[in-house]
């Protein structure tokens, strides 16, 4: 098969967020891929965000795990697979099926996920398989099942375009689902869609908000309860074929809207907008799900839609946007510990028996297995004795991550399948199995609107990497189940999954793609993106517009919700720490962190802090803060901004021990979960904050890997090299020696000192070319990072150690547009000097904002501030210039 010699574009799907954009990946002659958006894909119609656009930067052997390893030594596949199969079999024989567990991921392909679920539930006979979707979607799943009787997303993306009003609740759509945000923005421009954003933090998404409600953390149920009372009072719930309206209303009417922290005028406008627009879509995400009352918050939203019948018709409905590329596929195969397969119920003996017969399985678990947090607790307590982690990085992404690390380290036998060699989790494994990654893998994913698309390989596997489904099937064969795991191609797994969905459909499941059951490989390879369900009256469409639900009575179920605020909002907690995402990074950055383009936007772990808090704590902008909770601590760069309210600092989740000294925010979070879904409350941890007393700060850029060991460091990729932000409380005796060690160079640097200002600058050159430089200061280092980075491997000129760009070179400043590589300073100059008035002008003049559009909110905010304040912004906000002055 010579697929890889082709330079024709391969039609595939982006591996990042749940929007599920179609991508054309064209293999380049020298290796790597050229990436464009697929004009024909109905999720994106050719658009891509910056992460999708940069996919070509992240393929290739850089940092990849290339061969299987046992206890740190390279080994053969045969030996590794034998060991995994033997240890799992022995453990099951000795301690029973519930002594082993799989922890898998919403980033696996459906085929991978199907195999994992079949092996654990049907053949090992335990339900101890759970997934990182527990941290992500579990409250939505639970809320859907309570209200609809099934885990069904009722609507479609086009609903956001057909709505008259879109509510974004706990969703930073602009950064986390950028292409869907672009579709919404375009619809708003053409038809004046009203947009309401409900988030304690003023995010980039607020850029298009007609109404922004800075809700008190965790108070969403109180807001939607108020809405329910109001829609009822206005007669809008009359005739709704629902169960439980009276009880839900009574609970809602008992509520106290004051706990939302919102002024009465804003509450009134919110209600007016909702009531005046029948076509209303309520999009929600982690600000709702990741809460100790997440399921109730979901149901408070669903209550309003089902009570008014505003669901499953064009432009209306609740919409849980999924985070990961295959969060939905995972739900379809039953990858959660409390699900079976094809949306069947593990508690239902008829369902269990149907699946058992279909699989010809020796046994089936009779009860749900351990949910993620319980699973790692069981690992910690040595009740789980063999654990297999696949496609997720729990050592950094689970709450109370230090304890999770200890638990994994203490487990008898830990297998990790990953694409990368060095992650916070791979370093704890007994056996490491190299998986093929995006661009190499072959299978399907389901996006947030239930659309199934193909990921197709455009490159051969790196090193000895194998597909996840194959690795698991090979282990299953070695455990004695050769016949049930005998596939030779993912198309066969998909066909089997489709066939099972037919049985599920006959048992009443919404998920039925059984007309794909007979597909052969060529039909699978030719698959066009399609929506499920594929058959019946609902084919390719919406659910519940006919008011018929999957509950026993067929009616929608209202849930009584009594709002509860998170413990971190009690007066005794100093700060309520919020966490989430940034625009250009994906989770633990194992892939996006390798792209210099994506690393330019925000290159350090940071803490957004309100100016009042900064002042009362005595922390200045760009200094460092130590954040402490009952679980652990972190050291983060302080970003002073009124985007966050007093008492509600925000920190991004992306930094791990691989990229920062103390940037893992989940060292801070508590293992507090929603009682219904088991999803952790990751958005509100009681925390205290203090200045970190740095005696020196430094910035290093090098063409070679940097080896920091100071108390504070953060690493990022540069074009042709690496950079590090550094700080410490103990000043090294000799900066030349310290720099040589840090930069792994044994040559003598050029050194410039200014003892009066406490500044030392060291440059290492080879001939006239700059190899590396270290700038040290007693204050946070103020210099042009982009200038120094651009000087790497170039001839050194006289301005270098001054840290300023030469007269002929503009200092870009911090990157705003990652696609076109345009920095804040160039934007300011162009906007003011060329009199650019619109985003389109900026796009034409600089290319900024013209490609993926993810930075358009930032450029627009900059233009507004320039209008108000003039070009003096260079020294300060909007994005505090830690890096450039």
Ligand X SMILES: Nc1nc2c(c(=O)[nH]1)N[C@H]1C(S)=C(S)[C@@H](COP(=O)(O)OP(=O)(O)OC[C@H]3O[C@@H](n4cnc5c(=O)[nH]c(N)nc54)[C@H](O)[C@@H]3O)O[C@H]1N2
DSSP secondary structure, 504-564, as one string: HHHTT-S---GGGTT--HHHHHTPPPEESP-SSTTTTS-SSTTS--SSTTSSEE-------
Give the per-residue contact string, 163-182, with ligand SF4 (x = CB under 6 A; - = no).
--------------xxx---
Measured CA to CA, the distance from residue 449 to residue 458 in angstroms comes to 26
Do residues 216 and 569 lie in contact, with contact meaning Cβ atoms separated by under 8 Å?
yes
- Which whole-number Å values give the CA distances from 466 to 70, 106, 419, in the listed order? 16, 19, 10
Binding to ligand SF4 by residue 819, rule CB under 6 A?
no
Closest CB to ligand SF4 among residues 14, 281: 14
Side-by-side strand order, sheet with 211-213? 211-213, 194-198, 165-169, 280-284, 317-320
Q: Helix (H, G, I), strand (E, B), or coil: what is residue 717?
A: strand
Closest CB to ligand SF4 among residues 43, 389: 43
Measured CA to CA, the distance from residue 856 to residue 852 in angstroms comes to 9
Binding to Mo ion by residue 328, rule CB under 5 A?
no
Binding to ligand X by residue 665, rule CB under 6 A?
yes
21 binds, among ligand X, Mo ion, ligand SF4, none (CB under 5 to 8 A by kind): ligand SF4
Binding to ligand X by residue 501, rule CB under 6 A?
no
**Residues linked to residue 633 through DSSP beta bridges, in sequence order:** 628
Do residues 573 and 265 lie in contact, with contact meaning Cβ atoms separated by under 8 Å?
no
Measured CA to CA, the distance from residue 115 to residue 99 in angstroms comes to 20
Measured CA to CA, the distance from residue 691 to residue 13 in angstroms comes to 44
Least distance CB 371 / ligand SF4 (angstroms): 27
Residue 533: asked if its preceding bond is cis (omega within 30°), the reply is: yes
Do residues 733 and 723 lie in contact, with contact meaning Cβ atoms separated by under 8 Å?
no
Binding to Mo ion by residue 18, rule CB under 5 A?
no
Q: How many residues does the chain have?
A: 885
Closest CB to ligand X among residues 331, 555: 331
Binding to ligand SF4 by residue 498, rule CB under 6 A?
no
Q: Which of 231, 248, 300, 435 binds ligand X (CB under 6 A)?
A: 435
Residue 376: asked if its preceding bond is cis (omega within 30°), the reply is: no
CB atoms within 10 A of CB 773: 27
Binding to ligand SF4 by residue 759, rule CB under 6 A?
no
- Which whole-number Å values give the CA distances from 437 to 271, 383, 590, in the listed order? 46, 32, 12
Least distance CB 181 / ligand SF4 (angstroms): 8
434 binds, among ligand X, ligand SF4, Mo ion, none (CB under 5 to 8 A by kind): none
Q: Which of 17, 59, 116, 136 binds Mo ion (CB under 5 A)?
A: 136
Stretch that binds ligand X, among 165-173, 299-307, 519-527, 596-604 (CB under 6 A): 165-173
Q: By rule CB under 6 A, what count of residues binds ligand SF4?
A: 14
509 binds, among ligand SF4, Mo ion, ligand X, none (CB under 5 to 8 A by kind): none
Stretch that binds ligand SF4, among 47-55, 65-73, 201-209, 438-446 (CB under 6 A): 47-55
Q: Which of 10, 11, 17, 635 binds ligand SF4 (CB under 6 A)?
A: 17
Closest CA to 812 of 821, 803, 801: 821
Least distance CB 596 / ligand X (angstroms): 17
Binding to ligand SF4 by residue 593, rule CB under 6 A?
no
Q: Work out whether strand 22-27 and strand 696-702 pair parallel, antiparallel, or are unpaired.
A: unpaired
Binding to ligand SF4 by residue 16, rule CB under 6 A?
yes
The structure tokens 């700038």 sit at 775
- Which whole-number Å values give the CA distances from 800 to 115, 722, 730, 777, 778, in the listed order? 56, 17, 27, 16, 19
179 binds, among ligand X, ligand SF4, Mo ion, none (CB under 5 to 8 A by kind): ligand SF4
Q: Which of 323, 605, 632, 708 binds Mo ion (CB under 5 A)?
A: 323
Least distance CB 177 / ligand SF4 (angstroms): 6
Least distance CB 398 / Mo ion (angstroms): 12
- Using Cβ positions, the residue closest to ligand SF4 within the complex turns out to be 52
Closest CB to ligand SF4 among residues 9, 463: 9
Measured CA to CA, the distance from residue 347 to residue 365 in angstroms comes to 9
Footprint of ligand SF4 (CB under 6 A): 14, 16-17, 19-21, 44, 48-49, 51-52, 177-179
Footprint of ligand X (CB under 6 A): 17, 105, 107, 132, 135-136, 169-172, 175-176, 198-201, 203, 215, 217-218, 220, 285-287, 290, 323-324, 390-394, 397, 417-420, 423, 435, 437, 441, 468, 578-581, 583, 585-588, 590, 653, 665-666, 669, 682-683
Footprint of Mo ion (CB under 5 A): 136, 323
């Amino acid at each position: 098969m010579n697929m890889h010699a082709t330079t024709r574009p391969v039609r595939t799907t982006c591996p990042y967020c749940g929007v599920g954009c179609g991508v054309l990946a064209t293999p380049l002659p020298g290796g790597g891929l050229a990436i464009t958006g697929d004009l024909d894909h109905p999720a994106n119609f050719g658009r891509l965000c910056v992460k999708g656009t940069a996919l070509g930067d992240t393929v290739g052997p850089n940092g990849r795990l290339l061969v299987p390893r046992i206890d740190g030594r390279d080994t053969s596949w045969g030996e590794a697979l034998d060991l995994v199969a033997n240890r799992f079999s022995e453990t099951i024989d000795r301690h029973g099926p519930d002594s082993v567990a799989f922890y898998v991921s919403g980033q696996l392909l459906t085929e991978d996920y199907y195999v994992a679920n079949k092996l654990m539930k049907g053949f090992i006979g335990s339900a101890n398989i759970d997934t990182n979707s527990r941290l992500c979607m579990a409250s939505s799943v639970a809320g859907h099942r309570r209200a609809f009787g099934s885990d069904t997303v009722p609507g479609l993306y086009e609903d956001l375009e057909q709505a008259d009003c879109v509510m974004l609740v706990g969703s930073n759509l602009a950064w986390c689902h950028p292409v869907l945000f672009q579709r919404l923005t375009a619809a708003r421009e053409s038809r004046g869609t009203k947009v309401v954003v409900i988030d304690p933090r003023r995010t980039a998404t607020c850029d298009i908000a007609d109404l922004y409600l800075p809700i008190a953390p965790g108070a969403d149920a109180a807001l939607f309860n108020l809405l329910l009372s109001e829609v009822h009072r206005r007669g809008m719930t009359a005739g709704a074929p629902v169960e439980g309206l009276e009880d839900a209303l009574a609970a809602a009417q008992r509520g106290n809207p004051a706990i939302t922290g919102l002024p009465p005028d804003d509450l009134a406008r919110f209600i007016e907008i909702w009531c005046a627009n029948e076509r209303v879509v309520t999009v929600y995400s982690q600000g709702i799900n990741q809460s100790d009352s997440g399921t109730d918050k979901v149901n408070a939203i669903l209550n309003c839609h089902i009570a008014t019948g505003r669901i499953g018709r064009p432009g209306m409905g609740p919409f849980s946007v999924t985070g990961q590329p295959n969060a939905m596929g995972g739900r379809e195969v039953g990858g959660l510990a409390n699900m079976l397969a094809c949306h069947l119920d593990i508690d239902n003996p008829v369902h269990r028996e149907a699946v058992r017969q279909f699989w010809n399985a020796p046994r089936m678990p009779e009860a749900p297995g351990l949910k993620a947090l319980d699973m790692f607790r069981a690992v910690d307590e040595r009740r789980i004795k063999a654990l297999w982690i696949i496609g997720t990085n729990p050592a950094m992404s689970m709450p109370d991550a230090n304890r999770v690390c200890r638990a994994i380290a203490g487990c008898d036998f830990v297998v990790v399948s990953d694409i990368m060699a060095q992650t916070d989790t791979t370093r704890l494994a007994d056996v490491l199995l190299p998986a093929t990654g995006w661009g190499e893998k072959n299978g399907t994913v389901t996006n947030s609107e239930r659309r199934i698309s193909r990921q197709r390989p455009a490159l051969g596997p790196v090193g000895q990497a194998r597909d996840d489904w194959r690795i698991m099937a090979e282990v299953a064969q070695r455990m004695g189940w050769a016949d049930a795991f005998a596939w030779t191609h993912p198309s066969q797994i998909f066909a089997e999954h489709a066939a099972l969905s037919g049985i599920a459909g006959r048992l009443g499941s919404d998920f039925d793609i059984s007309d794909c059951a007979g597909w052969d490989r060529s039909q699978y390879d030719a698959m066009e993106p399609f929506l499920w369900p594929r058959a019946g009256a609902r084919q390719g469409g919406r659910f519940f517009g006919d008011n018929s639900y999957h509950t026993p009575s067929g009616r929608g179920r209202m849930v009584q919700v009594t709002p509860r605020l998170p413990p971190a909002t009690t007066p005794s907690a100093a700060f309520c720490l919020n966490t989430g995402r940034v625009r250009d990074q994906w989770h633990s950055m194992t892939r996006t962190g390798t792209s210099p383009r994506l690393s330019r936007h925000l290159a350090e772990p940071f803490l957004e802090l309100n100016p009042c808090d900064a002042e009362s704590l005595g922390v200045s902008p760009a200094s460092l803060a130590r954040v402490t909770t009952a679980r652990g601590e972190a050291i983060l760069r302080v970003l002073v901004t009124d985007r966050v309210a007093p008492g509600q600092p925000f920190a991004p989740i992306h930094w791990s021990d691989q990229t920062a000294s103390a940037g893992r925010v989940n060292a801070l979070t508590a293992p507090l979960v929603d009682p219904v879904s088991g999803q952790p409350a990751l958005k509100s941890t009681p925390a205290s904050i203090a200045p970190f007393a740095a005696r020196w700060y430094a910035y290093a850029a090098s063409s070679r890997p940097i080896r920091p060991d100071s108390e504070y460091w953060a690493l990022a990729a540069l074009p042709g090299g690496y950079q590090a932000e550094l700080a410490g409380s103990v000043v090294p005796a000799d900066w030349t020696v310290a720099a040589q060690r840090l930069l792994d160079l044994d040559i003598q640097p050029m050194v410039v000192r200014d003892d009066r200002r406490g500044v030392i600058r060291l440059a290492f050159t080879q001939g006239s070319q700059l190899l590396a430089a270290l700038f040290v200061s007693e204050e946070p280092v103020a210099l042009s990072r982009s200038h120094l980075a651009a000087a790497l491997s170039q001839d050194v000129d006289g301005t270098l150690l001054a840290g300023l760009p030469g007269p002929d070179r503009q200092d870009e400043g911090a990157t705003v547009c990652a696609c076109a590589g345009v920095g804040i300073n160039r934007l300011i100059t162009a906007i003011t000097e060329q009199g650019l008035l619109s985003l389109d002008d900026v796009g034409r003049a600089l290319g900024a904002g013209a490609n993926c559009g993810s930075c358009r909110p930032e450029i627009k905010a900059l233009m507004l501030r320039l209008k108000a304040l003039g070009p003096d912004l260079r020294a300060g906000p909007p994005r505090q210039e830690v890096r450039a002055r």
